[in-house]
Chain A
Amino acid sequence: MKKSIYLSVFLGLIMLSTAQAEDRLLNASYDIARELFQAINPAFVEAYAAETGKTVTIRQSHAGSSAQARAILQGLTADVVTFNQITDIHALVNAGWIAPDWQQRLPNASSPYYSLPAFLVRAGNPKGIKDWDDLVRADVSLVFPNPKTSGNGRYTYLAAWAFAQQQWPDDQAKIEDFIRRFVGNVQVFDTGGRGATTTFAERGIGDVLITFEAEVNLIRQLHGADRFTVIVPSRSVLAEFPVAVVDRVVARQNTQELAQRYLQYLYSPPAQEILAGFYYRVTDPQVSATHAKQFPSVELLRIEEVFGSWEAAQAHFSDTGSFEQALLAARRR
């Protein structure tokens, strides 16, 4: 008897989770984007209803974007992905879940918003930090997440490398020396952005925290705007936030149209306005003009252009890569 109750409840739950797929959408996103999509989704639902007369539900799943890619491969039925790592979309492309031409389907290489590694320093900037070359001074100590475990940390390392490479285009030895001093100045390597923030803001370790500009401003809001100052360097790397329809999932669930519209909505002025409110830089000319004061101008380099390809950039973090060598050299000192 108990078994049959169990079975019927169980089957009920399964049916519940597969019902009405056409007017529901699951967005698999990165872990710190919860509040962002909590703001965007109701706006989309309203706009969609006004246009089509249909009411839809947008569901959110948040975790590290690499974990999300793995979950989709295992059966998480995400109709769209909104990630913070292009390589995690590559994983889904390689497994055949997303078509290879995904970057051509939406404007700006399918990245509706972007950010860059920027600096957060103690109030009033006592160490006078202005740019990447200040970060390798002997009297400055740094905090950013470990590039081996964190995409955020990876962007930071690549941005420092890109800066050095523009400074000394033909001098590999100078670039490596710069990177060695940069890594040597790191006081704590946390595994993720969250841990690095705690180390810097709550434990008071380090002179500079390096993380995404969008995060840096959020941290000021949370831990006290008067305690920290944001510094945007002269040059940094472009951190894209790529979005894509998961073709294999939408084909099964019959949600192509809704998924496509949802991602297109992210480029619309109302959505771009919300994004700018979360300190993400946006592409809509009018919205970025109204928020110009919030975003100091900066020269942004593409990872693909500086390093050739994402794969070549990733090679810096292999066990024999430049990061590991800089770390060894820093420890020997």
Chain B
Amino acid sequence: MVHNARHQACPDNPWGRRLLIFSGVTLALVLIVAPLLAVFAQALSRGWAMYISNVTHPETLHAIQLTLLAAAIAVPVNTAFGVAAAWAITRFEFRGKRILQTAIDIPFAISPVVAGVMYLLLYGTSGWLGQWLYDHNVQLVFSVAAIVMVTVFVTSPFVARELIPFMQAQGREEEEASLTLGANGWQTFWHVTLPTIQWALIYGVILCNARAMGEFGAVAVVSGNIRGETNTLPLYVQQSFDDYNIAGAFAAASLLASLALLTLLLKTIAQARRDRL
């Protein structure tokens, strides 16, 4: 009996295998590929000329700019933070290490909308720091600065989370050898640590970038929806849709999807390289 049951679940049962492959492929087609194709089909449904004019609309261009700006700031900041945190956690013993590890996971654990509301409650006019900022005439919420801040917050765990397990598995023998042979800390980092972690790092950076460009919830809360000023690409998609500007919404969505697909391609390459190590 036991043997029989095991045999049925075994992957060399041809029908079981076919069924699994079939359902896997069907689900992927229905849930992922079809909606993605629909975005591009809808975006182009009124012809290329309309598509080009939607994509080159000043508001669309501004949304692309802002999305890229937020990612261009969030990704380097979080790369520096992620490397430093992973280095500290995997190479040193110190008080509060557990707390640091938990803190890194906080942006993962809480909903982005809550993150946005947290910033609003802290820096908004009725917030703790907000009243002080208001008195000193500094506009933080509902500005580009706030969008950058929440993007940094939401994307902060990606690099660190990618590096920590990798660096833990790797151990610190090579670095210790480098230090015993007389290299200083920076030399060790540049010539020993960085070359070994580079693909894991790149993988983390790409994930971080994908999220920075796609973030909606947190950004929506602090943006203030000022047209041509505080609209990122994901917000612009939603607003065009609400304005009955369906073609514009799908054009912007197709841009966002293209950025995501490009990221995915880079990710696949980086992942292959990393796994080869």
Residues of A at the B interface (CB closer than 8 Å) are: 2-3, 6, 9-10, 13-14, 16-18, 26, 31-32, 34-35, 59-63, 71, 73-77, 194, 218, 222, 252
B255 located at the interface, meaning its Cβ lies under 8 Å from any Cβ of chain A in the complex: no
- Specify which of A6, A62, A74 is in contact with B141 (CB 8 Å cutoff): A74
Residues of chain B contacted by A2 (CB below 8 angstroms): 76-77, 80
Residues of chain B contacted by A63 (CB below 8 angstroms): 225
Q: List 20 A-B contacts (CB under 8 A).
A: A2-B77, A3-B80, A6-B73, A10-B148, A14-B140, A14-B143, A26-B226, A31-B242, A34-B227, A34-B239, A71-B224, A73-B125, A74-B120, A74-B130, A74-B142, A75-B124, A75-B142, A77-B142, A218-B244, A222-B244
Main secondary structure of the interface of A (DSSP, over half): helix
Q: A60-B226, A74-B125 are in contact. Are A13 and B139 (CB under 8 A)?
A: no
Residues of chain A contacted by B123 (CB below 8 angstroms): 75
Cα distance A71–B77 in the bound complex, in angstroms = 28
Residues of chain A contacted by B142 (CB below 8 angstroms): 71, 74-77
Main secondary structure of the interface of B (DSSP, over half): loop
Cα distance A122–B75 in the bound complex, in angstroms = 52
- Specify which of A3, A13, A61, A252 is in contact with B224 (CB 8 Å cutoff): A61
Q: Which of B189-230 contact A (CB under 8 A)?
A: 224-229
Residue of A35, A77, A252 contacting most chain B CB atoms (<10 Å): A77
Nearest-CB residue, chain B, relative to A9: B73
Nearest-CB residue, chain B, relative to A10: B145
Given contacts A62-B239, A218-B244, 20 further A-B contacts (CB under 8 A): A2-B80, A3-B80, A9-B73, A10-B148, A13-B145, A14-B143, A16-B144, A17-B144, A17-B145, A31-B239, A59-B229, A61-B224, A61-B225, A62-B225, A74-B125, A74-B127, A75-B123, A75-B124, A75-B125, A77-B142
Residues of chain B contacted by A194 (CB below 8 angstroms): 242, 244
CB <8 Å contact, B225 and A17: no
Minimum distance in angstroms from A145 CB to a CB of chain B: 13
Cα distance A252–B137 in the bound complex, in angstroms = 9
Q: A35-B243, A73-B125 are in contact. Are A17 and B139 (CB under 8 A)?
A: yes
Minimum distance in angstroms from B131 CB to a CB of chain A: 10
B87 located at the interface, meaning its Cβ lies under 8 Å from any Cβ of chain A in the complex: no
